[in-house]
A and B are shown apart, each in its own frame.
Chain A
Amino acid sequence: MLSANLSAIFYLVSGVLFILALRGLSSPETSRQGNLFGILGMIIAITVTFLSTGNFSNGFIFVLIFILVGGSIGAFIAYRIPMTAMPELVAGFHSLVGLAAVFVAISAFLNPEAFNLGTVGNIKLGSLIEMSIGAAVGAITFSGSVIAFLKLQGIMSGSPITFKGQHPLNAIILISIIVLIYLLCASQSSNLFWILLAVSFLIGFLLIIPIGGADMPVVISMLNSYSGWAAAGIGFTLENTALIITGALVGSSGAILSYIMCKGMNRSFFNVILGGFGATDETSGKSVKEQRPVKSGNADDAAFLMKNASSVIIVPGYGMAVAQAQHALREMVDTLKKNDIKVSYAIHPVAGRMPGHMNVLLAEANVPYDEVFELEEINNDFANADVAFVIGANDVTNPVAKTDPQSPIYGMPVLDVEKCKSVLFVKRSLSPGYAGIDNDLFYKENTLMLFADAKKMTEDITKNL
């Protein structure tokens, strides 16, 4: 049996390894090594836990069985999941962390002796506070992630669900959670504990339903953050350094990602969280919409334009993921490169349904990462490029964000696509994007609309090159 001091030191080591795992992600070269640090940290934490309980009875066998069962399911999912489904997968994984935190809290509440937290009905006050916070945040993470998962998977409509009195109701529930935690600590009543859990599940559900599909990058990041705080809450209860460090890391990581995503849309965090964006704007946008002439072309025209270009910038968006067009796109780019045309990719921070979504899809299609650029890096190059090829993106290219203070997306950083000599816009119809507003780019003199499925159009262009 490991002494408490020694195991605390090992937990610290595993916490440090987790920090190194995140540090590795600062560049793709070091990232794989970073992931190994993470795995090592996890192995140390689990081994130390076994050694410190010193309990290798029959229960130990069952622990191994459950790890194996869960592990095989996890490994199976990890190998089978298509890269386009990554947002759903991450949302699903968040829900599991949340639920695991809830279960650990329940277990600790029912049997506090096992955790040295006191006895049933007489749990140490500090532990009870930490435990109930961990359980409440875990429950919110769980139900919120389940809703996010259903929305991303398309089982539930991605459009915001709003009703009258939604915000006051949420506010009342949030306040009641705090009151419940207070009463629970005062009375140690198990009934209050179960009510607290039920109410937390409910609020997680209510918080996410009003948020629309394209705001999912913020939601996923936020739930990522919550899962960290839940882990930290449990870490305080168990007095476990590895868990506290990890919880803080994950919590701040998710918070930073949410911030980056909000900044990419020029909206405040609360504006996103309160939801309903796009639902109201859509109707007003449609009523003022006038018929304006657009130029539309076919694959032949597009191929002609690109063949005569010397540099092409590709702007991918969520539509590319939906159409699974990343491989077809890379084949087109290969052909362009054979003709000595310089090709680069421009990624908007909120393109896709989660942070970095487009980068992963392009990497999957074997696009070298040094051809892929972020908004700030590439935005000045549009003026010197011959062709911009917009595939599945819309709002992030809308020049209205720079010109019309009335527009709901005014102030949002956008890619300066209109500065290109010509713009090719692959889209199925002229319908407005998520923000519900018309894209001025469609009607510009130098824009050629290619109305088709992204994958099919890209393949046709390749044939015509």
Chain B
Amino acid sequence: MEIDPLIFRLSIFILSIFVGYYVVWSVTPSLHTPLMSVTNAISSVIIVGAIIAGLSGNNDTIFNTSSIFGFLAIALAAINIFGGFLVTQRMLAMYKKKKKDK
């Protein structure tokens, strides 16, 4: 009997929830805002689906109803990816330790 590939994906999913659970509990509370902005950025990896959708047209008809939704999704996800990572970077750069020389 062969195992349905869905079961493998489900295993990855369940294990990732556990990984997420332990990793997120170890995040220091003072970084909870950057945590939200970075999770925002990484969840926009949905752009991979959007790219496949955008490229689904052939050379004559790049824009069909299906691919237009793909292109729109690409733009939305790109806003999130750039915006999310950059704003996280900007926030993290502000967290400084006490200066020792003072």
Q: Kindly report which residue of chain B lies nearest to residue A83, judged by CB atoms.
A: B91
Q: How far is the CA of A280 from the CA of B54 in the complex (A)?
A: 50
A103→B73 contact, CB < 8 A: yes
Partner of B49, one of A104, A349, A372: A104
Q: Which residues of B contact A9 (CB under 8 A)?
A: none
Whether A239 and B5, one on each chain, are in contact in the complex, defined by CB atoms closer than 8 angstroms, is yes
Most chain-A Cβ atoms within 10 A of its Cβ — which of B17, B28, B29? Answer: B29
Shortest beta-carbon distance from A356 to chain B in Å: 3
For residues 22 through 75 of chain A, which have their beta carbon under 8 Å from a beta carbon of chain B? 22-23, 25-28, 31-32, 34-35, 38-39, 41-42, 45-46, 48-50, 53, 55, 57-60, 62-63, 66-75
Contact: A96 with B76, CB < 8 Å? yes
- Chain A's closest residue to B35 (CB) is A25
Q: Is A114 located at the chain interface by the 8 A CB criterion?
A: yes
Flag if B42 contacts A355 (CB, 8 Å). no
- Asked if A2 lies at the interface with its beta carbon under 8 angstroms from chain B, I say no
Question: Who on chain B is nearest to A18 by CB?
Answer: B42
Given known contacts A251-B20, A372-B30, is B46 in contact with A97 (CB within 8 Å)?
yes
State whether the Cβ of B3 lies closer than 8 Å to any Cβ in chain A: no
Q: Could you tell me if B90 and A79 are in contact, using CB atoms closer than 8 angstroms? A: yes
Q: Which residues of B contact A126 (CB under 8 A)?
A: 6
**A59 proximity list for chain B (CB < 8 A):** 54-55, 57, 59, 62, 67
B73 to chain A, nearest CB (A): 4
- Main SS at interface, chain B: helix
A157 and B89 alpha carbons, distance in the complex (Å): 32
> Which single member of B14, B42, B54, B79 contacts A38 (CB below 8 Å)?
B42
Q: Counting CB contacts under 8 A, is A220 at the interface? A: yes
Binds B, one of A224-232, A396-404, A411-419, A441-449: A224-232
A341 beta carbon closer than 8 Å to chain B: no
Residues of B within 8 A of A41 (CB): 42, 45
How many residues on chain B are close to A (CB under 8 Å)? 84
Q: Which residues of B contact A356 (CB under 8 A)?
A: 29-36
Do the beta carbons of A63 and B54 come within 8 Å of each other?
A: yes
Contact between chains at A63 and B55 (CB < 8 Å): yes
Q: Known: A74-B79, A242-B48. Is A22-B27 also a contact (CB below 8 A)?
A: yes
A360 and B35 alpha carbons, distance in the complex (Å): 11
Q: Is B94 an interface residue (CB 8 A)?
A: yes
Say yes or no: is A369 at the interface (Cβ < 8 Å to chain B).
yes
The B-contacting residues of A in range 89-110, CB under 8 angstroms, are 89-90, 93-94, 96-97, 99-101, 103-104, 106-108, 110
Contacts of A58 in B (CB 8 A): 59, 62
CB of A244 within 8 A of chain B? yes
Contact of B20 among A22, A86, A97 (CB under 8 A): A22
Q: Which residues of chain A come closer than 8 Å to B17, judged between CB atoms?
A: 248, 251-252
**Within the complex, which residue of A49, A79, A250 is in contact with B51, where a contact is CB–CB below 8 Å?**
A49
B85: chain A residues at CB < 8 Å are 35, 38-39, 42
Chain B residues whose CB sits within 8 angstroms of the CB of A251 once the complex forms: 17, 20
Contact of A266 with B by CB under 8 A: no
Which stretch in A176-184, A253-261, A385-393, A429-437 binds the other chain?
A253-261
Task: Establish whether residues A252 and B21, one from each chain, have CB atoms under 8 Å apart when the complex forms.
Answer: yes
Which residues of B lie under 8 Å from residue A101 when comparing CB positions?
46
Asked whether, in the complex, the Cβ of A246 is within 8 Å of the Cβ of B13, the reply is no
CB distance from B42 to the nearest CB of A (A): 5
B19 touches A100 (CB 8 A): no
Instruction: Verify B30–A28 contact, CB threshold 8 A.
Output: yes
Interface centre among A66, A73, A75, A372 (most CB of B within 10 A): A66
Interface members, chain A 226-285 (any B CB < 8 Å): 227-228, 231-232, 234-254, 256-257, 260
A248 to B17, CA, bound (A): 5
Q: Are A100 and B76 in contact (CB under 8 A)?
A: yes
Instruction: Give Cα A71–Cα B30 distance, bound, in whole angstroms.
Output: 28
7 pairs, A vs B, C-beta closer than 8 Å: A18-B42, A67-B47, A224-B36, A249-B24, A355-B29, A355-B32, A366-B94
B residues with CB within 8 A of A: 5-6, 9, 12-14, 16-17, 19-21, 23-59, 62, 64-67, 69-99
